[in-house]
Structures are given as C-alpha cells and as structure tokens.
Amino acid sequence: MTSPFVEVVSRSSLRERVDQLGAEISTDLKGEVPVMVGVLQGSVVFLADLVRSMTIDLEVEFLSLTRFGHDGQIGIAMDIADPLEDRHVVIVEDIVDTGLTLASMRRLLEVRNPASIRTVTLIDKAPRRIVEVDLEYRGFEVGDEFLLGYGLDWKGHYRHISSLWAVMDLEVLQENRLAFAQHLGIAP
C-alpha cells in the first residue's frame, strides 16, 4: 500500500529557498527597517528562519486573527503593539490558499498608513485562489494538496516537523489525527 504521507520539500531545500527569500527582501528594503509581521501560529517556524537569513535591521511583530464563517471574514484577536504609520510592513504567511485571509488582513493594515505593505508566503496554493491579492514573495507554488509541517498543522499538531509533507488521503487524518505521528514514529 502506498503511504498517505509524502515528504514534498526537504529540510535542506526549505533552508535554501528561505535563505533566497531573506536575501531578496533584504535587497529590496535596503536602507529601511521593515516590520516583519508574523501571522500566528502558522508563520512562526518560517518567520524564525526567514528573519535570521536577512541582512538588514528589522523588527518582528505578531498578530493573531479570528475567523467568522466560511467567507474569510477576519478580525484581529491579538494586535501589534506599535503603530505602523510610515513603516515598511512585510506580512509573513505560512500559506496563501483562497487568498481571503490575506486580502482582509492587507485591508486591516492599510488603514494604518504604512509606507508600504508587502507579503511573503512560504507556500502559494495559486490554483485555489478565489480573490486576487498582491503577493510579492513566494517560496513554493503548489497545487491543492493538503500540506503539513514547517508551521502547517492538522488540528494544532505537526507544526514542529522540520520538512514539508503532503497528505495524499485526508480521510486517514480525519479518522485518526495521530496517523501522521505514527508514520513518523513520534506517536505517544
């Protein structure tokens, strides 16, 4: 039987691509001190590696979102402490899927009058986009497979897995959320 879990991006390929993104953003924002805004919880692992590959001064902030319903409506559950006025903001996302979350978040931050807003996402699920949204930097473009690891979760689990995995059969996880842990040999 083929495994429902397939490693799609190794730890070393992630490191290489994240380093490239860090270098690119550093070049584009040379002379500025950007605010790197991580969206909790998914972006934490990516952000931690990304900022350490950057070669300019910067600040790190986090915000967390609440979702209402299925139309992508969001609110801010935990906000950034400092004002963003005249700052160069880089939103750091783990994954952009339909684009609804990112589009709402950009609107929420734009009214704070930043000097600029850019977004970097590790994963771009471009074929699933419902709304057009600006996306300045992307690590990897994928199809519609469900991904786990490197910040991405299933019901709060598996964010700490250091490479990226695709779930070929989601029913396996729906029936048993520990199935991936068992596959990795880390189940309790």
* CB nearer to ligand IMP: pick between 56 and 74: 74
Q: What is the Cα–Cα distance from 79 to 22, expressed in whole angstroms?
A: 24
Residue type for position 131 = V
Burial class (CB in 10 A: 0-12, 13-18, 19+), 18: buried
Judged by CB under 6 A, which of 22, 34, 38, 99 binds ligand IMP?
99
Query: What is the residue whose two structure tokens read 């989601």?
Result: 170
140 is a site residue for ligand IMP (CB under 6 A): no
Give 83-147 as a 3 state SS string. CCCCCEEEEEEEEECCCHHHHHHHHHHHCCCCCEEEEEEEEECHHHCCCCCCCCEEEEECCCCEE
Candidates 4-12, 26-34, 55-63, 98-106: pick the segment binding ligand IMP (CB under 6 A).
98-106
According to CB under 6 A, which residues from 56 to 95 bind ligand IMP?
Answer: 72, 94-95
* CB nearer to ligand IMP: pick between 98 and 116: 98
116 is a site residue for ligand IMP (CB under 6 A): no
Whether 97 is catalytic is: yes
101 is a site residue for ligand IMP (CB under 6 A): yes
Return the active site residues.
Answer: 97
Site for ligand IMP, rule CB under 6 A: 42, 72, 94-102, 146-147, 152
